[in-house]
Amino acid sequence: MRNLKITDQQIYKLIEKETERQQQVLEMIPSENYASPAVLEALGTSLNNKYSEGYPKKRYYQGNRYIDSVEILAEERAKKLFDVPFANVQPYSGSPANLAVYFALLEPLKDKIMGLSLAFGGHLTHGAQVSISGKYFKTAEYSLSPDGFLDYSAIKKIAMREKPKIIVCGATAYPRIIDFKKFAEIAKAVNAYLLADISHIAGLVVGGVHPSPVPYADIIMTTTHKTLRGPRGAIIMVTKKGLNKDEDLPGKIDKAVFPGLQGGPHDNQTAAIAVALKEAGGAMFRRYAKQIVVNSRALAPELKNYDFDLISGGSDNHLILIDLTNKKINGAQAAYALEIAGVVVNKNAVPNDPMPPFYPSGIRLGTPAITTRGMREREMKKIAFWINQVINEVSGTKLPKDKEERKKSWVTFKEKTAKNENLLLIAKEVKNFTKKFPIY
């Protein structure tokens, strides 16, 4: 950042501080990761300067000789890595990518999307009412059974009743394996397209530690910045099954992304996606993906030993969802206290959460980023120990139910917690500990 240091001290310093923060804490938000230096390099290149509306060899601007090659490489690498016949690598991110799929296949205000409810771990773009996906299309939702698992026979019943045109499987806060085959059977029974949104688990799928949706889904969407460990972005893929169902699917998806929803692709991002896909095809990445799951499976029982109530009782993938009701605090309080102590997680609703979204009952944490740093089972033990210490510090301070009272207590809680010496001491220990695991 030599130039930035000279031209813009303010931004330079903030970037430096953010990098330092990322180094000194345990980043355990399951949708985050550390992209490699090569991925970051590709992002900060002259490719940022180019306009290339259209697709390779069919552009609306001159000068795309090299950009065409970059985009073709990214597409080819995606197709090879996931074993699919078609990939569009232009979506700016996961939300517009899901919208593009809907735009390609659904008639607004008429056709129906059926996805996992936001309150049970689905994503906003799976038909939540606050999102354009829920406002512009009809929706139906499924939830989880009381044990925290997907209940496929209940999902089938809803599908038979609601007759959706697209069924979305995939989640943002589901700690278990998704049975794509069962979803495919349900989709077939109601003649719906099956969209597998594997944004969270794409790295696990290509690493061979989560079953692939490729034999079962018609369309697959993934973000590129979570377990896949690339730049921010997304890929929409069509499977052989999807092609058999509708040979125009690739054309429809392409048209929906551009000119339907987006203008010029972010070519620097496309190059960085290509770099990440090459990395994800290597043996080291397979080991990485395996270790993500090993770490999550090691962390879960450690937390249970400290009497943490894990939704579904454990984890099969990269994330863990904790209901903090028995600890007498909410997720906002826990996440805040944990950050003071150097452990970064996010507050999260739990199934059938009686609390409002801003003060949900749970937290969501995961192992992708700390595994990138080289942490293993031994470190999970230590992390569980710290998490328990932090929660013990604030346990029993549950905020009042009354809205106004709660607002006031929240401010007091934050002031007090920020000065808690035991938490600050843990932050120091964490900072020391993380020195052994440099991020760059």
Ligand X SMILES: Cc1ncc(COP(=O)(O)O)c(C=O)c1O
| Residues between 179 and 198 that touch ligand X (CB under 6 A) | 197
Told to judge if 83 belongs to the known catalytic residues of this protein, a careful annotator would answer: no
Q: Among the candidate windows 72-80, 106-114, 169-177, 334-342, which touches ligand X by CB under 6 A?
A: 169-177
115 binds ligand X (CB under 6 A): no
Which residue is catalytic, options 53, 68, 111, 309? Answer: 53
Q: Among the candidate windows 35-43, 167-175, 263-271, 332-340, which touches ligand X by CB under 6 A?
A: 167-175
* Tokens describing residue 231: 């730049």
* Tokens describing residue 177: 């394996």
Q: Which residue in the set 90, 172, 317, 333 belongs to the binding site for ligand X (CB under 6 A)? A: 172
Told to judge if 286 belongs to the known catalytic residues of this protein, a careful annotator would answer: no
Question: Measured on CA atoms in the order 247, 249, 252, 255, is the torsion positive or negative?
Answer: negative
Q: How is residue 438 annotated by DSSP? A: -
* Tokens describing residue 381: 């033990």
In the structure, how many helices (H) and strands (E) does the chain have?
A: 18, 15
Bridge partners of 366?
319
223 binds ligand X (CB under 6 A): yes
Q: How far is CA 15 from the centre of its chain?
A: 23
Bridge partners of 343?
26
What is the Cα–Cα distance from 379 to 255, expressed in whole angstroms?
Answer: 47
Q: Which is nearer to ligand X, 170 or 207 (CB)?
A: 170
Is there a contact between 204 and 315 (Cβ–Cβ < 8 Å)? no
Stretch 78-107: interaction string toward ligand X, x if CB under 6 A: ---------------xxx--x---------
Nearest one of 26, 29, 30, 11 to 439, comparing CA atoms: 26
367 binds ligand X (CB under 6 A): no
Q: Which is nearer to ligand X, 234 or 426 (CB)?
A: 234
Q: Report the nearest approach of ligand X to the CB of residue 33 (Å).
A: 12
Told to judge if 226 belongs to the known catalytic residues of this protein, a careful annotator would answer: yes
Q: Report the nearest approach of ligand X to the CB of residue 170 (Å).
A: 5
Q: How is residue 261 annotated by DSSP? A: I
What is the Cα–Cα distance from 142 to 157, expressed in whole angstroms?
Answer: 10
* Tokens describing residue 11: 């931004």
Which residue is catalytic, options 172, 223, 224, 270? Answer: 223
397 binds ligand X (CB under 6 A): no
Q: Report the nearest approach of ligand X to the CB of residue 289 (Å).
A: 17
Q: Among the candidate windows 164-172, 206-214, 329-337, 406-414, which touches ligand X by CB under 6 A?
A: 164-172
Which residue is catalytic, options 232, 245, 297, 431? Answer: 232
Nearest one of 75, 73, 69 to 57, comparing CA atoms: 69
Which residue is catalytic, options 226, 229, 252, 327? Answer: 226
Q: Which is nearer to ligand X, 54 or 164 (CB)?
A: 164
Question: 146: exposed, middle or buried (C-beta count within 10 Å: 0-12, 13-18, 19+)?
Answer: exposed
Told to judge if 8 belongs to the known catalytic residues of this protein, a careful annotator would answer: no
Q: Which is nearer to ligand X, 223 or 361 (CB)?
A: 223
Amino acid at 330: N
Stretch 7-36: interaction string toward ligand X, x if CB under 6 A: ------------------------x-----
- Sequential DSSP letters for 108-169: TTTSEEEEE-GGGT--GGGT-TTSHHHHSSEEEEE-B-TTSSB-HHHHHHHHHHH--SEEEE
What is the Cα–Cα distance from 196 to 236, expressed in whole angstroms?
Answer: 10
Q: Which residues are catalytic?
A: 51, 53, 197, 223, 226, 232
Q: Which residues bind ligand X (CB under 6 A)?
A: 31, 93-95, 98, 123, 125, 170-172, 197, 199-200, 223
